[in-house]
Amino acid sequence: MKRRTLGRKGPTVSALGLGCMGRSEFYGPSDEGHSPATLDAVLERGIDFLDTADIYGHGANEELLGGFLKDRRHRVTIATKFGILRSADPDARPVDCSPEYVSAACEASMRRLGVETIDLYYLHRRNADVPIEGTVGAMVRLVDEGNVRAIGLCEVAPDTIRRAHATHPVTAIQSEYSLRSRDPEKEVLPLLTELGIGFVPYSPLRRGALTGKLQSADDLPAVDFHRTIPVTHRSALAES
């Protein structure tokens, strides 16, 4: 397995990572009983970069990884995210990236993961009403306290990246990127090269649409997240 260093001084990880969201929800029914075997198989193949978030399964995904990490922590680089809130309403997902919330979110994620330090901690989404400098400043305190090794941002604009990086070096930016989702090429990727920030693409196979397995959105399970994607995106299923 090839390896990559995120940013100029970030962690060195497997070139392929595993997004764990689907282990708990979103892409149809999940079977967490099979997850440990899947994670073991991934690790044995040299993939040691695991990605989760506190909203996946309302925290259940972090707990799932926490059980897996108990005797494997030294072999895995773990990334998780904060900022999107969940409630009893499945369609309500407000964003809280206030400095006051950052520490509490991190503590909850560490508890569920069963770790003393999170390798890469992302702001999952940004609320434009909160200055990014304040959010990043709170994330830096987590670094200073030893709770987080590196910080990242998800789906943010170039100006936000510049402002965040001026506050504290950002290790990685995560955005959707595939042959059908190429927006980062316009401004984000050149900026990350300039600043020395790593790029972590998610859904590189467009959530399965580029594999040939999904032929029509009508064939998806009723609870599949694909059904919530705008029609212009869902059309890629038929066109792939």
* Confidence (pLDDT) at 2: 96
For 130, residues 6+ apart whose C-beta sits below 8 A from its C-beta are 97, 98, 99
146 and 193 in a single domain? The answer is yes
* Confidence (pLDDT) at 144: 98
Which residue of the set 56, 121, 122, 177 is catalytic? 56
Beta bridge partners of 81: 122
82 and 180 in a single domain? The answer is yes
- The alpha carbon of 57 is separated from its chain's Cα centroid by a whole number of angstroms, namely 14
> Is 56 designated active site?
yes
42 and 127 in a single domain? The answer is yes
- The alpha carbon of 165 is separated from its chain's Cα centroid by a whole number of angstroms, namely 19
30 and 113 in a single domain? The answer is yes
Q: Are 93 and 85 in contact (CB under 8 A)?
A: yes
154 and 235 in a single domain? The answer is no
For 142, residues 6+ apart whose C-beta sits below 8 A from its C-beta are 102, 103, 106, 121, 148, 151
7 and 124 in a single domain? The answer is yes
Structural domain boundaries enclosing 216: 212-240
* Confidence (pLDDT) at 196: 98
134 and 216 in a single domain? The answer is no
Rg (CA), the chain: 17
* Confidence (pLDDT) at 112: 98
- The alpha carbon of 13 is separated from its chain's Cα centroid by a whole number of angstroms, namely 15
123 and 69 in a single domain? The answer is yes
111 and 157 in a single domain? The answer is yes
> pLDDT by residue for the chain (240 residues), tens digit each?
999 999 999 999 999 999 988 776 766 556 666 778 889 999 999 999 999 999 998 999 999 999 999 999 999 999 999 999 987 777 778 999 999 999 999 999 999 999 999 999 999 999 999 999 999 999 999 999 999 999 999 999 999 999 999 999 999 999 999 888 899 999 999 999 999 999 999 988 766 665 666 666 666 666 566 556 654 444 443 432
Angle between helices 158-167 and 132-144 (to 10 degrees): 40
For 47, residues 6+ apart whose C-beta sits below 8 A from its C-beta are 1, 14, 16, 17, 18
Query: Whole-prediction pTM value?
Result: 0.86
Q: How many CB atoms lie within 10 A of CB 100?
A: 9
27 and 143 in a single domain? The answer is yes
Q: Are 47 and 18 in contact (CB under 8 A)?
A: yes
* Confidence (pLDDT) at 101: 97
192 and 233 in a single domain? The answer is no
227 and 131 in a single domain? The answer is no
The total number of structural domains that make up the chain: 2
DSSP state of 238: H
State the CATH number of the domain containing residue 77: 3.20.20.100
